[in-house]
Amino acid sequence: ATIVFPPQTWTNSINQANKTALRVWMKETGTDLVQVNGQRRYGGPPPGWVGKPPPAGTEVFIGKLPQDIYENMLIPLFQSVGKLYEFRLMMTFSGLNRGFAYAKYSNHRGAKEAIAAFNNFEVQLGYTIVVCKSTEKHELCVDGLATSVGKQELEAVLRQVTEGFLSITLYASPCRNWAQLAVLKYSSHQAAAMAKKTLTEGNMKLSGLEIRVNWLNPDLKQKLQLLEEKPSSSQVQEGRRLGVPKPVPASPVLHNVLDQLNSLCQRLYLGTPLYLTKCIQVNPNGWLRFWCRVIIPGCPMPFSGFTWVRPGRPGRSGHEEAKVVVALQILQVLGESLWGISANPCLSQSLGASPGSLELW
């Protein structure tokens, strides 16, 4: 027979001596520790603190900690080189620490002194710790959002389930079909870390789609700067085209495709298509990569994606070429016969796109 102990009894039995020493220290020093979402925190602010929180660059990362060491040993050690504003120890379910912590000082000098004094410091026999400057990331990347989800809706959800939320920027997802990517900015690294934990562990879904939450890395941030923010529903309703230069008059062949989509939408009572295009990349061979979005009022979701095109004859813009590729795709989705257009000998020259050049549709 197998005997299963209650979880509380099991966790209390682990490292009991050191836990007892921690409780005695807390009582003797009057130190308060608050455990929330897998981390135990002192301060933030500490007792008697007056004024604003310390600026960025005052936090250090502490790694390679022995798992049976607690704040009664760590806080006095790191306070010895400067005044602590906050100390956060990451905890496991069993009551051991997870091997790392963060110490935030009242000024930059305290953080520098901690790194100089305690990096490669032997905190216990055989345990040398790592202490370095914390990156203090403030931005998260959330990919896989439904294209029907609006900025205001997301803001309302994030303010409800996370703390320290500042802003959100929406982009067309560069990795997933029919999806949006959001960049979330938070007031501090701690707020962003807690938001990441909440959104990840909660298996958060919006409009039926499961999302992926990660730290925003510099490479992706640079790529996203090439993409414009998605237009809000109010801007779409007002018919404004964001980031689209004044279109050059299209050739009759171009009008053939665009007019066919427009006629089909009218026959189906879907309204007039609205095109949004933005050139985000030019390669040495003259090919242009466009982000495209088409809003058809009667369709529940807009059509979004990327495509490569090559400019046609002088006087015809790459934006017009991209619109044609998009229009052909939408005609196929809506079930319109393309026989009459594909029979046109000028079509391949008009489109300027090679087979397989369309992405993420």
The DSSP secondary structure of 53-120, one letter per residue, reads PPPTT-EEEEES--TT--HHHHHHHHHTTS-EEEEEEEE-TTS-EEEEEEEEESSHHHHHHHHHHHTT
Identify whether 45 is preceded by a cis peptide bond (ω within 30 of 0). Answer: yes
Cα–Cα separations (whole angstroms), residue 275 to 15, 30, 174, 319, 326 = 64, 64, 19, 10, 9
Instruction: Check if the beta carbon of residue 40 is closer than 8 Å to that of residue 101.
Output: no
- Using CA atoms, how far apart are residues 285 and 352, in angstroms rounded to an integer? 13
pLDDT at 166: 92
- Residue 142: alpha-carbon gap to chain centroid: 3
Task: Render pLDDT for 132-189 as a digit per residue (tens, 0 to 9).
Answer: 998 878 899 988 887 777 788 888 888 888 888 999 988 888 777 677 888 999 988 8
pLDDT at 157: 83
- Using CA atoms, how far apart are residues 298 and 157, in angstroms rounded to an integer? 27
Q: Which of 124, 97, 116, 113 is nearest to 40 (CA)?
A: 97
Superfamily of domain 17-133: RRM (RNA recognition motif) domain (3.30.70.330)
pTM of the entire structure? 0.50
pLDDT at 139: 92
3-state SS class at 217: coil
The amino acid at residue 40 is R
Task: Render pLDDT for 193-240 as a digit per residue (tens, 0 to 9).
Answer: 888 888 877 555 554 456 788 888 887 887 777 655 444 443 333 333
- Residue 133: alpha-carbon gap to chain centroid: 23
Instruction: Check if the beta carbon of residue 142 is closer than 8 Å to that of residue 199.
Output: yes
pLDDT at 156: 84
For the chain, 361 residues long, give each residue's pLDDT as a single digit of tens. Answer: 334 434 444 466 788 899 999 999 999 999 999 987 778 999 989 999 999 989 888 999 999 999 999 999 999 999 999 999 999 999 888 889 999 999 999 999 999 999 999 999 999 999 999 999 988 788 999 888 877 777 888 888 888 888 889 999 888 887 776 778 889 999 888 888 888 888 877 555 554 456 788 888 887 887 777 655 444 443 333 333 333 333 333 344 455 788 888 888 888 888 888 888 888 887 776 788 888 888 888 787 788 888 888 765 556 678 888 888 888 888 877 764 443 444 333 333 333 333 333 333 3
Quickly name the fold that domain 139-216 has. Answer: Alpha-Beta Plaits (3.30.70)
Tokens linked to 27: 């009582």
pLDDT at 209: 57
The amino acid at residue 3 is I
Burial code (b: 16+ CB inside 10 Å, e: under 16) for 151-173 equals beebeeebeeebebbeebbbbbb
139-216 shares the fold of 17-133? yes
- Using CA atoms, how far apart are residues 201 and 212, in angstroms rounded to an integer? 11
Q: Which of 177, 136, 146, 147 is nearest to 54 (CA)?
A: 136
Q: Which of 328, 177, 181, 176 is nearest to 168 (CA)?
A: 181
- Using CA atoms, how far apart are residues 105 and 108, in angstroms rounded to an integer? 7
- 3.30.1360, 3.30.450, 3.30.160, 1.10.10: which CATH number matches 257-336? 3.30.160
Angle, vertex CA 167, rays to CA 166 and CA 170, nearest 5:
160
What is the residue extent of each domain of the chain?
Answer: 17-133, 139-216, 257-336
- Evaluated on CA atoms 158, 159, 165, 168, the torsion sign reads positive
